[in-house]
Structure 1
Amino acid sequence: MKPTLVILAAGMASRYGSMKQTDGFGPNGETIIEYSIYDAIKAGFGKVIFVIKEEFAENFKGIFEPKLNGKIETDYVFQTFDIKPFGIDFEIERAKPWGTAHAVLAARDAVKEPFCVINADDFYGRESYQKMADFLNNEVNDQEFSMIGYQIDKTLSEHGSVSRGVCEVDLDGNLTEIQERTKVFFKTDNSEQKTIVFEENNTEFPVNVNTRVSMNFWGFTPKVFDYTADLFKEFALANIENPKSEFFIPLVAEKLIKNKQASFKVIPTQNQWFGVTYAEDKPFVQENIDKLVAEGVYPSKLW
């Protein structure tokens, strides 16, 4: 059974200023999502599931169905504010959806095979999909999941600080902890030497260039839905008075590791990650895609 690709595409892209999930970056207006799906098909994935807001459905289908028809099976599921399916029979007022781990739960009735989760607006690179496919085909089980680990310097923006899940990895290559650093950036000193730092409480701390970070590229079996649903109910009830709280995938990973319910293999990649946190990132992404096209990694017209 071929693994499935789950794409989280329900976010609003507030810092980008428009719907970056459907913005064009390739030579013929290809979206970042299309490169992700192209790489996934090459790696042997059999199905792609889009997690979106219901009001996005017509737009998404209009863009992707003509291109993907006959190439990979597609499905669309909706991230909503309805928490009754989790045994909570009253409303919790929210300003925004519950976060990435909640978005993954939107796919629980549509996924029956090993699968991976990615962000819609992140370009992960061909190697990453092949390594994830190999893991999902050969190693994954209900107690052993995975995460693609990117070298931190290959994930930063030249246009501002970013949040990164900084990983602690044991000698067996398994994740032990993710620390969310909300302000990570390149810093250039007086000698034009570029270093990486994160800022916390107005103090800067250096970060080793070889540090691995999570870019939200995870590998699971459907068993993770059971784990996550239980944790989500607990999280939602604990955050009734906190409408901006978000239930992120790393929170689930940390709980499963701490409770010894599952381990997470950190699969290292040398791929350059690029994404579009800021509108100013778009030319950089386009330039990198053009370079990959020139090198023959991708055809100038994907489909």
Structure 2
Amino acid sequence: MTLLLMAAGSGSRYGKLKQFDDLGPNGEFLMEFGISDALKNGFDHIVLITKKDNVSFLEDHLRNRLPANIKLDVLAQEITDLPDGCTFEGERQKPWGTAHAVWTARDVINGPFAVLNADDFYGQPAYENAANFMRAHKDDNTYALVGYTLKNTLSEHGSVSRGVCQVDGDNLISVDERLKLEAKDGKVIDEDSGNEYTGEEHVSMNFWVCKPSIFEKIENDFRAFLNSKDLGAKSELYIPKIIQDMLQAGEIKVKVVPSGGDWFGVTYASDRETAVSYLQKKTNAGKYSSPLWPNE
């Protein structure tokens, strides 16, 4: 089974590249705890999407730590990586978004895979539940969202973006991207739209189980995206939109798999202290080895 981690962000609100911040008790990156959880649940192929300048560093860093039997691919998400026949003449510094990050791995993944953010902590049970789903749906075109509860994914230090889900039983109906969610007076408010939420809603934290069929869909949508008259210097193509379009077209089914555990992110620099404390407590409780990798 394959785990794809997206680590090409710039960390503009965090103040530095949070993917490479030494949050663990022995200087581990946050993504290393997720990789450890994945390996414990049968994942044997790690794909990391990052910036070109970080490829060699991450290859060396992870290969020296991962067991020898684990396949590792570290790939660069590059603005110039476009579908055949497509061009982009404008100026751009920002990557094309999470869907493009996934598409970057099209040549190294040929089976079911889980995809998530490298700068989020998803909790050990989430990987177990995702792995069980992948084993149960190995041969069909059913995708999954590992879902969390909105109120448990907010930051005390500012607004956050979340995909708010409409769910029927364990079936995902839709995902509504909200970019400025913040807790206020016992409710959760989206500052952009003014929408109010109870906080009990299911949300996407970008932990998906996908099949290779997504690569063709991303490429087709990316072509249309590049030809859009509204394409701007910061326009992006997101995974939830791709999956939702496939869902509404009847091309796939998407199940909501309970995360079963904790989540935290490091959106703001002030989130760092919480992350360091949490990982130390988990290590002290024996949930993680110290050091995390036996060959360190």
Q: TM-score, normalised by structure 2?
A: 0.93
The residue identity in structure 2 corresponding to 1:210 is E
Q: CA shift at 1:89, angstroms?
A: 3.9
Q: Deviations over 1:271-290 (max 9, x none)?
A: 11111000000010111111
Aligned-partner residue type, residue 132 of structure 1: A
For 2:10 and 2:286, the matched residues in 1 are separated by 33
Match of 1:256 among 233, 243, 246: 246
The superposition leaves residues 167-192 of structure 1 with CA deviations (integer Å, 9 ceiling, x where unpaired) of 00113x111111112221222x4xxx
Percent of pairs with identical residues? 41
SS at match of 1:67: coil
Q: Distance in 2 between matches of 1:44 and 1:83?
A: 31
Q: How does 1:128-207 map to 2 (within 5 A)?
A: 128-141=126-139, 143-171=141-169, 173-187=170-184, 189=185, 195-201=186-192, 203=194, 205=196, 207=197
In the other structure, the counterpart of 1:192 is none
Q: CA deviation at 1:202?
A: 7.2
Contact 1:165 1:179 in 2 (8 A): yes
Q: In the alignment, which of 275, 285, 294 is matched to residue 284 of structure 2?
A: 294
SS of equivalent residue, structure 1 residue 85: coil
RMSD, aligned CA:
1.7
- Mapped contact 2:88–2:226 kept (Cα < 8 A): no
Structure 1 residues 33-67: Cα deviation after superposition (integer angstroms, max 9, x where no partner) = 10010000001001101111111112212322211
Q: 1:93 aligns with which of 91, 95, 101?
A: 91
Q: Does 1:265 align with 2:255?
A: yes
- Structure 1 stretches of at least 4 aligned residues deviating more than 6 Å after TM superposition: none
1:2-48 deviation per Cα after TM superposition (whole angstroms, max 9, x unaligned): x1001101111111111111111111011111001000000100110
User: CA offset at residue 118 of structure 1?
Assistant: 0.8
Aligned residues: 293
Tell me, in whole angstroms, the C-alpha distance in 2 between the residues paired with 1:299 and 1:241. Answer: 47
Matching residue within 119, 124, 132 for 2:117: 119
Cα distance in 2 between the residues matched to 1:53 and 1:102: 13
Deviation at 1:253, TM superposition (A): 1.3
Q: Identify which range, 63-72 or 48-57, moves more after superposition.
A: 63-72
Consecutive unaligned residues of structure 2, counting only runs of 5 or more, are none
SS at match of 1:68: coil
Q: How does 1:27-106 map to 2 (within 5 A)?
A: 27-70=25-68, 72-106=70-104
Between 230-239 and 216-225, the greater mean CA deviation after superposition: 230-239
